[in-house]
Amino acid sequence: MKHSCYLLGTALLVSFAHCFAGDLSPGEHKRLYVAEPGIRDYLEYGGHGILVFDIDQGHRFVRRISTGGLDEKGKPLNVKGICASAVSKRLYITTTRSILCLDLLTDKLLWEKAYDGGCDRLALSPDGKIIYVPSLEGEHWNIVDAMTGAALQKIVRKSGAHNTIFGLDGAHVYLAGLKSPVLTVMDARTQQVGITVGPFGNVIRPFTVNGSQTLCFVNVNGLLGFEVGDLRTGQVLHRIEVPGSKPGTEKRHGCPSHGIGLTPDETELWLTDAANNQLHIFDATVLPPKPKGTVVLRDQPGWVTFGLDGRFAYPSTGDVVEVKTRRIVAELTDEARRGVQSEKLLEVDFVGDQPVRVGDQFGLGRKIN
């Protein structure tokens, strides 16, 4: 009897959580999807699974979605990337070995598939049909059918495959490796190299591109700052160092600035500073971008992205920063009130229970000239 009451109570709590989250409401609501473990394989920053937060209600924790992504001993593998499609209504995450595909309507795991060479930070075409998934710092990217998970083709660059961005119009894919100072721009229609950008001052780490896909903003090893590349000519235009700050000891990544993003309106560029627990803000309306502010965080940031409307910035520390005021207005915590941190997160907007638009793990500019 006690067991039956417990199950009934649990079911009611789950049902209540879904209703309170607005999943059955006819109105529009915004959710933040955070994949864990999203900092290496560390479980202390939010455990395992996908954590969903209600952006409209102060980033209140809504629910935890169970996922696969386990090794032979049942230990969660670290998550390497996240992306989603409002068209296909699917969410994807990569672990070091596989892609996991989940249904945004039901939270169910649809499939999990491993790929030759492992997986890193993937990118999904805007129409939801094609995934470019890098091998784990290897020689190639796999092109994957996003509906079935079937591997279709390999793109070999021998660059230490790592970070991957799909342009907003779906025409180009940007490939960066941990062993190369050159950014490769692929024609997504022909799967041929269109142009290369660089060489930059060192090997490429996180990067972002503007909405019109004319400029890229690139972190490189050894630089507390960033470099700017021209996506039309392939030239490196500027190298910007953070004034008044000194590189120090980073917990992870071995890179002073590992995380860079444009606000959706492209007026500002936000840059991580791991050793000093800070975000540095630059005026992106001019070239080279000029410093204009700093935000102090609760821990070392290794990533930063933005919500779709540009109201909030999401560093990997779990701090929620209001962009306009530069104030920390919330801190992500899970159902046990543990601080949540992750470098793999994005926004999904719903009308009722239907996803209508999705954000991106990279802080992509969204201004189309």
The tens digit of pLDDT for each residue in 156-203 reads 999 999 999 999 999 999 999 999 999 999 999 999 999 999 999 999
Any domain includes 330:
yes
Location of structure tokens 């070091």:
96
pLDDT tens digits, residue range 95-146? 999 999 999 999 999 999 999 999 999 999 999 999 999 999 999 999 999 9
Peptide bond into 315 cis (omega under 30): no
Give yes or no for a contact between 184 and 175, defined as CB atoms under 8 angstroms apart.
yes
Give the per-residue pLDDT at 11.
35
Q: How many domains does the chain have?
A: 1
User: Does residue 151 form part of some domain?
Assistant: yes
Number of H helices, E strands in the chain: 1, 29
Give the burial class of 108: count Cβ atoms within 10 A of its Cβ; 0-12 exposed, 13-18 middle, 19 or more buried.
exposed
Quick one: tokens of 104?
A: 């945004």
Residue 367, domain member (yes or no): no
Per-residue model confidence (pLDDT) at position 110: 98
d(CA 90, CA 106): 10
Cα separation values, 254 from 163, 201, 238, 300, Å = 16, 16, 23, 12
CATH code, domain carrying 227: 2.130.10.10
Read off the pLDDT of residues 209-254 as tens digits, 9 standing for 90 and up. Answer: 999 999 999 999 999 999 999 999 999 999 999 998 877 889 999 9
Helix (H, G, I), strand (E, B) or coil at 29: strand
Beta partners for 90?
85, 103
Q: Which two tokens stand for residue 86?
A: 């409002």
Mean pLDDT for all residues in the chain: 92
Residues 6+ apart with CB under 8 A from 149: 99, 101, 111, 113
Hey, CA dihedral for 148, 151, 152, 158, is it positive or negative?
positive
Alpha helices in the chain (DSSP H): 2-20
361 pLDDT more than 80: yes
Containing structural domain, residue 246? 2-358
In this structure, of 168-177, 243-252, 297-306, 320-329, the range with the lowest mean pLDDT score is 243-252
Q: Check residue 22 and give its pLDDT.
A: 36
Report pLDDT digits (tens) over 243-290. Answer: 988 778 899 999 999 999 999 999 999 999 999 999 999 999 999 999
Q: What is the DSSP letter of 38?
A: B
The CA dihedral of 147, 149, 152, 154, to the nearest 10 degrees, is: 130
Residue at 365 is within a domain: no
Per-residue model confidence (pLDDT) at position 17: 37
- Burial level of 218, CB count in 10 A (0-12/13-18/19+)? buried
**Does residue 295 fall inside a structural domain?**
yes
Place of tokens 């021998």: 158
Q: Output the pLDDT for position 368.
A: 85
Residue 19 has pLDDT above 50, yes or no: no
Q: Is residue 369 part of a domain?
A: no
Query: Quick one: pLDDT at residue 27?
Result: 85
Confidence of residue 4 (pLDDT cuts 50, 70, 90): very low
Taking Cα atoms as reference points, which of 246, 247, 226 lies closest to residue 183?
226
Residue 12: inside a domain: yes
The pLDDT value recorded for residue 26 is 60
Antiparallel, parallel or unpaired: β 345-351 and 90-95: unpaired
The model scores a pTM over 0.85: yes
Give the number of other CB atoms < 10 A from CB of residue 26: 8
Residue 366 in any domain: the answer is no
